[in-house]
Amino acid sequence: MKSLGRISIPAILSFALGGAALLMAQPARSGKPEPAPEQTQKLTASAIQLERIVPPADLLIPEDTRISVYENVILQLIKTKKFQHVYRSGDRTAADAPDLVILHLIPEAFKPGSQKEREVITIAGATSIKVKVQLTSREGKALLEKDVEGKVRFYGENLRATYDLAKKVAGVVNRSF
């Protein structure tokens, strides 16, 4: 019994050490860059303006999806209650706002998916849309940049992905102000 104890203690120790070494080595093995440190200093602004969503020439996005993203983001920005005014693109009254930040949504990827596939096969047919969220000052100085993806995986119409995206964009804005 005594000899068994002598054998098992080094075995347990070596197992624990090996596990710890593996855990420490994991970030280096994955090769992924470490996420940018969380923004500690909050931004301040009394008004925000959402610019029109213009997809790059090589990315086809249905117009209803593009408009749905825009309108849903406007609704979600109002819901955050972080700003006195939420201006739309082209609004002339935004020129009078003293500390205005401008929100740009730059589409990066779009997968149309299919509601029928989603509901029949479950694991297929997801609709997803990925955008770069960019906050700039009126002068064009970049204040924040982040990638956000909206999805609808199981049940719901394709446009529900735009609602999911808008909620996430509003979440990014909410955490930044």
Partner 1 sequence: MKTRAVQIPSGVLSPRGEPLGRPLWLGALFVLGAALLLAATAAPSFGRESPTPQNPPGSMILDAKCVIGFDNIKPGAKGTLTSLPTGLEFTAGKKKADITTPSIQDIFTGRESRQDVGGVSGTLVETAIPYGGGRFFSLFSHKVDVLTVEYADSTGGFHGAIFVLSAGKAEALKNQLIAQGAKVSTHVNVPEPGEGKP
Among 43, 106, 115, 177, binds partner 1 (CB under 8 A): 115
User: Among residue numbers 15 through 54, which ones bind partner 1 (CB under 8 A)?
Assistant: 52
Establish if 80 lies at the interface with partner 1 (CB under 8 A).
no
CB of 58 to partner 1, least distance (A): 11
d(CA 73, CA 77): 6
Closest to 70 (Cα-Cα) out of 111, 115, 153, 129 = 129
Tell me whether residue 146 or residue 156 sits nearer to partner 1 (CB atom): 156
Q: 3-class DSSP state for residue 158?
A: coil
CA distances from 91 to 52, 86, 97 (A): 11, 10, 11
CB of 172 to partner 1, least distance (A): 21
**Which residue carries 């090769």 as its tokens?**
31
CB of 98 to partner 1, least distance (A): 18
Bridge partners (DSSP) listed for residue 149: 130
Distance of CA 15 to the CA centre of its chain: 39
Establish if 119 lies at the interface with partner 1 (CB under 8 A).
yes
Only one of the segments 25-33, 35-43, 98-106, 116-124 lies at the binding site for partner 1 (rule: CB under 8 A); that segment is 116-124
**Counting beta carbons within 10 angstroms of the beta carbon of residue 153, is it exposed (0 to 12), middle (13 to 18) or buried (19 or more)?**
middle
User: Among residue numbers 147 through 166, which ones bind partner 1 (CB under 8 A)?
Assistant: 155, 157-159
Sign of CA dihedral 57, 61, 66, 72: negative
CB of 170 to partner 1, least distance (A): 15
Distance of CA 114 to the CA centre of its chain: 22
Among 33, 60, 98, 140, binds partner 1 (CB under 8 A): 60
Tell me whether residue 61 or residue 143 sits nearer to partner 1 (CB atom): 61
Tell me whether residue 82 or residue 125 sits nearer to partner 1 (CB atom): 125
Binding region for partner 1 (CB under 8 A) = 52, 60-64, 66-68, 70-72, 75, 87-93, 112-117, 119-120, 125, 127, 155, 157-159
